[in-house]
Amino acid sequence: MAKALAEAGAHVVLSGRSSDMLQQAVASITGEGGKASAAAFDVADLDAGREAIAKLHADHGRLDILINNVGARDRRPFAAFSDAEILNLIQTDLLSAIALSRKAADIMKAQGRGRLISVTSIIGNMARSGDAIYPVAKQGLTGLVRSLAAEYGPFGVTSNAIAPGMFATETNAEISANPDMNAFMRQRVPLQRWGRPDEIAGAALFLASDAGSFVNGHVLTVDGGMSIQM
């Protein structure tokens, strides 16, 4: 998504916990003529996130687009979680987006324009045994997206979500290489293949651009048709 936005002319600020990985990503974008910089922080640290948004605004003078894209996941039986483990997942996947969006929305409101985009998941509307906490957080994120759309829409700020299905990424490389998961994917996804990262990028570009200026409070599903299957 960052690469696609940079190619479209945006100055992108990448965030994450690893400074080394962020600098590699920045170098990849700038090496192709794009504008990029990095802000290293842990999204679970809500104060650090708010400080990063404030610094970004101070450095660049404006903030046009915020993309909340976090997906901490722990596939275990519901009863196996401690309260602290549940709170950590909720803080990472949901509360971080609340904190960042509140800070960004205030800036965008003053500007009279902005795009809030959150990456949720089709699992927010589904349920699978042994994967209880992630859907809770993602469904909460959908509620946040719609609440922001209603509250900040009058000020020229749109809020939308992208709900991906099964995508082959670096994060889930082990899962996408698993023969059983590939068989499951072919059974459930009408297109019978994993999604590619660039196919999420197209959705982000649409929602961030003038082409999506009248789209607000919407969840754009990008799953190859998986969620329509019985």
Residue 104 tokens, joined: 């960004």
Q: Where are the beta strands (DSSP E) in the chain?
A: 11-16, 35-40, 65-68, 114-119, 157-164, 219-222
Instruction: Give whole-number Cα distances, 188 to 66, 118, 130, 191, 221, in Å.
Output: 32, 25, 19, 9, 15
Residue 172 tokens, joined: 């889930």
User: Residue 31: helix, strand or coil by DSSP?
Assistant: coil
Active site residues: 134
